Amino acid sequence: MADDFLFPAMRAYLDGLVPPRHPELQAMEAEAARTGFPIVGPAAGQFCYFITRLLGARSVFELGSGFGYSTAWFARAVRDNGGGVVHHVVWDEDLSARARTHLAVLRLDDLVQFHVGEAVATLRASPGPYDLIFNDIEKKDYPASLPAIVEKLRPGGLLLVDNVLWRGRVLDPADAADSTAGVRTLTRLIVTDPAWTATVVPIRDGILAAQRR
């Protein structure tokens, strides 16, 4: 199933409602389409921007950042909130270098701290606490990332988790892949824990939004 499995026509419609974007963001979207790299895309990017503005977040930590597309949406929001920091973390040197270039062109790089390494270990080693944490690492590793997130998110802070519908695979009881199990387990851990107020927003591949009480 594609990551617009719910309503194939809906994705283009929702992306089309997002205001015009900087040419560099459009170039990043084209780069993702050309190479098949999984970015959040315009509608989910706009949702990330919106929620970061609503929260007034000044400190954001991204787990699994890619070439900086989602980072750019968070950094724009943090800039518009008055400034702060967005942590970009990926274990691939080349992706980190590409992100530095893109964010420099967007003039957002002064807000971003770049880390090359394993994302959960980097979060654990960082001082925190953060206003917002965005999780987009390997799906099988989602459940194990939760304790570090809980430790580093401030009370009232927001967790966003991408791909919680996992292209519909979470709906298939026969799908017992580690990735699918990881997505299902993290989702259940959060929605059944009274310490979180959570909802799944079915934009693109599904984003879990959860506030820590």
Ligand X SMILES: C[S@@+](CC[C@H](N)C(=O)[O-])C[C@H]1O[C@@H](n2cnc3c(N)ncnc32)[C@H](O)[C@@H]1O
Whole-angstrom distance, CA of residue 192 vs CA of residue 37:
32
The reply on whether position 15 binds ligand X by CB under 6 A is: no
- How near is the Cβ of 97 to ligand X at its closest, in Å? 13
The reply on whether position 203 binds ligand X by CB under 6 A is: no
DSSP secondary structure letter of residue 58: S
> Which of 119/146 has CB closer to ligand X?
119
Please list every residue from 57 through 76 that binds ligand X, using CB under 6 A: 64-66, 69-70
What does the block give as tokens for 188?
């259940």
The reply on whether position 175 binds ligand X by CB under 6 A is: no
Q: Is residue 141 within 8 Å of 120, Cβ to Cβ?
A: yes
Counting residues that bind ligand X (by CB under 6 A) gives 20
> Which of 89/153 has CB closer to ligand X?
89
Long-range contact pairs involving 166-172 (C-beta distance under 8 Å, separation at least 24): 166/139, 166/205, 166/206, 167/1, 167/2, 167/3, 167/5, 167/205, 168/1, 168/5, 168/6, 169/1
CA-to-CA separations, 94 to 23, 91, 97, 99, in angstroms, rounded: 22, 9, 5, 9
The reply on whether position 39 binds ligand X by CB under 6 A is: yes
- How near is the Cβ of 132 to ligand X at its closest, in Å? 14
Three-state DSSP at 149 gives helix
- How near is the Cβ of 134 to ligand X at its closest, in Å? 7
Q: Which stretch binds ligand X (CB under 6 A): 17-25, 137-145, 146-154, 195-203?
A: 137-145
The reply on whether position 92 binds ligand X by CB under 6 A is: yes
3-state class percentages of the chain: helix first, strand second, coil last, to nearest 5: 50, 20, 30
> Which of 38/143 has CB closer to ligand X?
38
The reply on whether position 91 binds ligand X by CB under 6 A is: yes
- How near is the Cβ of 162 to ligand X at its closest, in Å? 6
Which residues here bind ligand X, judged by CB under 6 A? 38-40, 64-66, 69-70, 89-92, 95, 118-120, 136-138, 141
